[in-house]
Structure 1
Amino acid sequence: MSPVVVVILLLAVVVLPSGASTPPPPPCSRSCAALNCDSVGIRYGKYCGVGWSGCDGEEPCDDLDACCRDHDHCVDKKGLMSVKCHEKFKNCMRKVKKAGKVGFSKKCPYEMAMATMTQGMDMAIMLSQLGSQKLEL
């Protein structure tokens, strides 16, 4: 089985909580969302979350959402298995956190959203490394 298929299957199992009936996300987002902030099924801003992206030309909701937009663009160019894209995203989140700004949502504060996204990126990095010929330690 290809590494991409493994990642997609694993994400589907983790993202779809049992008994939950969440409507599928729109093809692209034009409004700021703050849903499932403490789970892998997070939807934050217009660009953050597995399978969630803003429409072309849409401004991010805040600095964290801008990190997600940049990650989306990186993955579009380099592929879902790009550890470099995932690491750049984690560095972007660190810069946002260090700046001390407050995000657009009180329901989903930066600290909660960033912790969830960091866990997701760590899992994506691990799965990318498992799918590659060489391990990046």
Structure 2
Amino acid sequence: IVTASITIWLSVPTCERVSLHVEEAARVDGLGPYATFFRIALPIARFQVFGAIAFSFVLVWNEFLLAMMLTTSKGKTLPIIASEMSQLGMNVPWGILNAAVVLLSLPPLILLGVLAGGLNAAFSKKSDQG
């Protein structure tokens, strides 16, 4: 959650710097909001977005290393257990490892599903005002 909030905090000002005239020209040319974002705004802000992604990767990697160093054998987090299981060589229990990956993916997907309705409403409200 910390990584997502920092990434958004770094990315939003970049997207806000895209000129409204450029967005209006795209709308006049028949582009919808998603096409305008992916064809116009994102290419303009690609370097800033790449920087935010790189910064997020470093934050996540540091969290992984911190958990790896500070946890004991009884209190390991799921990413640490999955990492240790992948280093077993030929005897990797792929079923358990794949189940761990699914469990690691579920919380962000559930959070995205819960917040998606509110995000869509917020984006629609902002585009209606502009």
The normalised TM-score by structure 1 is: 0.27
Q: Greater Rg, structure 1 or structure 2?
A: 2
Q: Which has the higher strand share?
A: 1
The normalised TM-score by structure 2 is: 0.28
Q: Which has the higher helix share?
A: 2
